[in-house]
Amino acid sequence: MPENPESSSSSSSSASSEEEKKPRKSPGPFNQAKLDEVERTRDIIAAYRKPEFKQILIDKRDVLEADVNTLETTVNLAENKITGGHAATVAKEQLTAEEGIAKAALLAGIATTQRGALRTFRSDQRARLEDYFIGEDLDTNLPRLKTIAIAILAKLQPGPNNTPPPDVLRGVKAPDIQALADALGVLTAKDNEQGAAQVIAREERRTADELLADIVAGRLDIQLAADQEWPWKTREHDLIRAQFKLPLTRPMTE
């Protein structure tokens, strides 16, 4: 009896609705599918190398040992690239957290100098407060924040040949100025390191993707050769096909 289209549509709509309600899984720290492909290919290489299979595949199906050895080298390299990309991503995340700490320290150091400027420049000197960026939102742009810190330090640190600093602010002591300089140095270093880690992570993943394309091609060649030699319709081939991760009820497809 033909299926009721309305019932089918309702069922499909309900299933779709249920699917939408399911919470989405957040992505893992690295692409598990890539590592799964690496492990799948390793299993198939191991099956190929079994004495009862290898010589048959070499002699009858042109799966040369040298090609399989090259595939294994590519698999190992890809795994290093995948996990290397993951390590770089973790490093980037760690550096981002460290950068946040350094940024907070820099903001605190600038705030100390701004309070000192407010205490120092009174009445007819109020225009000097602009030199300390009082009233500007400092927490919106990292390059701007570093530029402001550099400008303030230039007012408070000795000049060439240890000439006196342009300004001396009330309540701002040498340790405060040094803390501001140190915070700027740490933030700049962490910002540079974070950028480098991001480039490495991106490059590691790009290379892994390229290697994985070769791995998939090599894996499929072994599997298709095994599918040629041990076709699915012969039940005695089931155990062999399982070792090569071939379907048991149909031919192998790409």
Residue 63 falls within a domain, yes or no? yes
Residue 249 falls within a domain, yes or no? no
Compute CA distances 64 → 44, 47, 59, 68, whole Å.
14, 14, 9, 7
Residue 251 falls within a domain, yes or no? no
Residue 193 falls within a domain, yes or no? yes
Residue 46 falls within a domain, yes or no? yes
141: left (phi over 0), alpha (psi -120 to 50) or beta: beta
Range of the domain at 69: 31-243
Dihedral of alpha carbons 110, 116, 120, 126, sign? positive
Count: domains in the chain = 1
pLDDT above 90 covers what percent of the chain? 56
Residue 254 falls within a domain, yes or no? no
pLDDT per residue, tens digit, the chain (254 aa), is 444 544 444 444 444 444 444 444 444 445 788 889 999 999 999 999 999 999 999 999 999 999 999 999 889 888 888 777 666 666 667 767 888 898 999 999 999 999 999 999 988 898 999 999 998 888 878 889 999 999 999 999 998 888 999 999 999 999 999 999 999 999 888 877 777 666 666 656 667 888 899 999 999 999 999 999 999 999 999 999 999 999 999 999 87
Residue 62 falls within a domain, yes or no? yes
Residue 111 falls within a domain, yes or no? yes
